[in-house]
A and B are shown apart, each in its own frame.
Chain A
Amino acid sequence: MSKTIKIDPVTRIEGHARILLDCDDSGAVSNASFCVNELRGFERILVGMEASSMPQITARICGVCPTAHHLVAAKALDNAAGVEPPTAAKLLREFMYMGHYIHSHCLSLFVLAGPDLVFGLNGKMATQNIVGMVDAEPDLTKKGLRLRSLGQKINETIGGRGIHPVTAVAGGISFKLSDGQFTRLQELTAESVQLVNELAAKTKNLLFSLLDKNPVLL
């Protein structure tokens, strides 16, 4: 008998989605769809708003990767105005993005996919989450969360805010980095590098072992 398998919602991913798999009489998949049902209509809403507010507003497209949307809008304004940001501003934007990169990848690697890495694909639903991970792998999990927080603090120190940063404006960055902020960024960076070195081997092993056990994933 034909049927539709519905996974709704898809959990532990960076957004809202559901998966629909139509199967024919023999059980073979006849049609598959991945629906990202998070339509707010930014494409239309933004038209008629003040251009200068775009970097703040477009960040709200996604709270998981706001820094990407924030920076792209600022770059669009640079282009529209025909201006080239000074080197310091370009570097600060890139630094902000690297902070976000650490934060977002740690979310993916430790909080979202982490439980699958630690418990495999057939773990118990009750423990297949960050709470179960803290119990099973306290060192890895706490360090992963710590690294994630460092990335967000870098993002926040330069972006003004972590989720929905605000400081990239047409032509550069809206504030001057203070000596205190500079020192803080050095500390955050040094600790991040140290944690990555501590986490890399273990995480790589978990990834490879998941792939070895489930070659279908490749």
Chain B
Amino acid sequence: MSGEKIRLNTEWLCDCGGCHVALVDLHEKILNVLESVEIQKCPVLTDVKDYPEADIGILTGSIRTEHDRHAAMEMREKCKTIIAFGTCAVYGGLHGAGLAHTKEEIMDYVYKSTPTTKTDFIPATDITGLEKMVVPVDEVIDVDLYLPGCPPHAHFIFESLSSLVDGREPKTGQETVCAGCSRVMKKTDVAAIKDNLEGIPDDDVCFLSQGYICLGSVTLDRCLAPCPNHGVMCTGCAGPTMQILSEPNHDIRTEVSDRMSRLTAIKNEDIVGHIEKSAKTHYAYAMATKMIGDKPTFLIQKWIAEAEEAK
């Protein structure tokens, strides 16, 4: 690119703000980006409150309120290219698990019935009420590029922004988290699923081989696999792989159970049953996307009801 700087808008919708912190976490590299990019609207960096015309628009967060919906539409109107940035924008994100409850249930619980809440009313006018559903950004506007990750690792952010600045295709792989994990898969005679906190896992052996539920094999690598390399099972925060999303008969539980049952002596159906019982945890990050929510076999309401009944 020569001459004119690329104009960038960013906006956060319903999210934790971590994706914006991740942008600032390019640290010294952000100064390289700034050489060719002019940051216009960006709630953490500038005081611009409206939506100027821009070349690139980064949207983080999902749509939870009318306010979010309006902001996404404004961004679409003013930005030539829209990036859905982070797992919330792409798949709905962790609070997509809110779909397991009605909005009334959530509002009531938050404002009235939690043990630490002293108020007994829902503020009527000052806050924007929740919409019925949590949805990813592309349910409301057209999206040009998707960068999931919770948040995406700086490596992927820098590559995405540089490719846009240079006017080339971003070099992004489709590997799973397993590709970056140093653990070795091996066949074991482990006979039962372990709770994440049971025992001390072997540092060198695949979690699935040891009987722990790890979502690394069904999760897109936008993180460089820090969790399994630090003794923690992958929780799927970057969202599922395209294979899981695009094929109606593949799902998080079927893929994990296939692999885990081959690596251990645990029965396939036991693993499927276990993941269904803890579906709210294992599907949280992506359950708000239709690609998961519309699968004929995805019965989240039923699984959660059954799990609560069993207690």
Instruction: Give the B-binding residues of A (Cβ under 8 A).
Output: 8-9, 11-12, 14-16, 20, 33, 35, 37-45, 48-50, 52-53, 56-57, 60-64, 66, 77, 81, 107, 111-112, 125, 128-131, 134, 142, 145-146, 148-149, 152, 160-164, 166-167, 169-171, 174-176
Instruction: Give the A-binding residues of B (Cβ under 8 A).
Output: 12, 14-22, 24-25, 27-28, 30-31, 34, 39, 43-49, 64-65, 67, 93-95, 97-98, 100-101, 105-107, 109-110, 114, 117, 126-128, 130, 150-151, 195-197, 203, 223, 226-227, 229-232, 235, 237, 278, 280-281, 284, 304, 307-308
Please list 19 pairs of residues, one from A and one from B, whose beta carbons are closer than 8 Å in the complex, sorted by A's number: A8-B49, A9-B49, A15-B17, A37-B128, A39-B64, A40-B14, A43-B110, A49-B278, A52-B197, A60-B95, A60-B150, A111-B24, A129-B45, A131-B34, A131-B39, A145-B27, A160-B226, A160-B227, A163-B18
Question: Are the C-beta atoms of A169 and B49 separated by less than 8 Å?
Answer: no
Question: Are the C-beta atoms of B230 and A167 separated by less than 8 Å?
Answer: yes
Pick the residue among A16, A44, A52, A60 that contacts B94 (CB under 8 A).
A60
Residues in B with CB closer than 8 Å to A41 are: 95, 98, 101, 106-107, 109-110, 130
- A171 to B18: give the CA distance in the assembly, Å: 27
- A166 to B232: give the CA distance in the assembly, Å: 7
Pick the residue among A48, A52, A66, A112 that contacts B307 (CB under 8 A).
A48
Pick the residue among B18, B45, B203, B278 that contacts A12 (CB under 8 A).
B45
Question: Are the C-beta atoms of A175 and B230 separated by less than 8 Å?
Answer: yes
Q: A48-B100, A111-B44, A142-B28 are in contact. List 18 more A-B contacts (CB 8 A).
A: A11-B46, A35-B126, A41-B101, A41-B106, A43-B109, A44-B98, A45-B95, A45-B101, A49-B281, A56-B235, A56-B237, A134-B31, A145-B27, A145-B28, A145-B30, A149-B27, A164-B151, A175-B230
Pick the residue among A43, A61, A107 that contacts B21 (CB under 8 A).
A107
Q: Output the nearest chain B residue to A50 by Cβ-Cβ distance.
A: B281
Residues in B with CB closer than 8 Å to A161 are: 223, 226-227
Question: Are the C-beta atoms of A164 and B237 separated by less than 8 Å?
Answer: yes
- A97 to B11: give the CA distance in the assembly, Å: 28
Question: Are the C-beta atoms of A11 and B230 separated by less than 8 Å?
Answer: no
Known: A41-B101, A111-B45, A130-B45. A63 touches B151 (CB 8 A): yes
Residue from the set A130, A148, A171 with the largest chain B CB neighbour count within 10 Å: A130
For the complex of A and B, list the 8 residue pairs with the smallest distance between their C-beta atoms, beginning with the closest: A63-B18, A174-B231, A160-B230, A41-B106, A149-B27, A52-B196, A40-B95, A63-B16
- A111 to B21: give the CA distance in the assembly, Å: 11
B300 CB to nearest chain A CB (Å): 11
- A149 to B27: give the CA distance in the assembly, Å: 6
Known: A57-B235, A131-B39, A160-B230. A107 touches B24 (CB 8 A): yes
A195 CB to nearest chain B CB (Å): 13
Residues in B with CB closer than 8 Å to A44 are: 98, 101, 105-106, 109-110
Known: A9-B49, A63-B18. A57 touches B106 (CB 8 A): no
Residue from the set B43, B46, B105, B304 with the largest chain A CB neighbour count within 10 Å: B46
- A41 to B101: give the CA distance in the assembly, Å: 10
Known: A15-B17, A50-B196, A167-B232. A57 touches B284 (CB 8 A): yes
Q: Output the nearest chain B residue to A33 by Cβ-Cβ distance.
A: B126
Residues in A with CB closer than 8 Å to B128 are: 37
- A35 to B123: give the CA distance in the assembly, Å: 10
Known: A62-B17, A129-B39, A131-B39. A163 touches B151 (CB 8 A): yes
Question: Are the C-beta atoms of A160 and B28 separated by less than 8 Å?
Answer: no
Question: Are the C-beta atoms of A53 and B237 separated by less than 8 Å?
Answer: no
Question: Are the C-beta atoms of A45 and B195 separated by less than 8 Å?
Answer: no
Q: Output the nearest chain A residue to B304 by Cβ-Cβ distance.
A: A48
Residues in B with CB closer than 8 Å to A131 are: 34, 39, 45
A200 CB to nearest chain B CB (Å): 21
- A33 to B124: give the CA distance in the assembly, Å: 13
Pick the residue among B25, B67, B307 that contacts A162 (CB under 8 A).
B25
A51 CB to nearest chain B CB (Å): 8
Residues in A with CB closer than 8 Å to B94 are: 45, 57, 60
Pick the residue among B12, B44, B114 that contacts A43 (CB under 8 A).
B114
Residues in A with CB closer than 8 Å to B98 are: 40-41, 44-45
- A66 to B230: give the CA distance in the assembly, Å: 17
- A142 to B29: give the CA distance in the assembly, Å: 11
Q: Output the nearest chain B residue to A129 by Cβ-Cβ distance.
A: B46
A108 CB to nearest chain B CB (Å): 11
Q: Output the nearest chain A residue to B106 by Cβ-Cβ distance.
A: A41
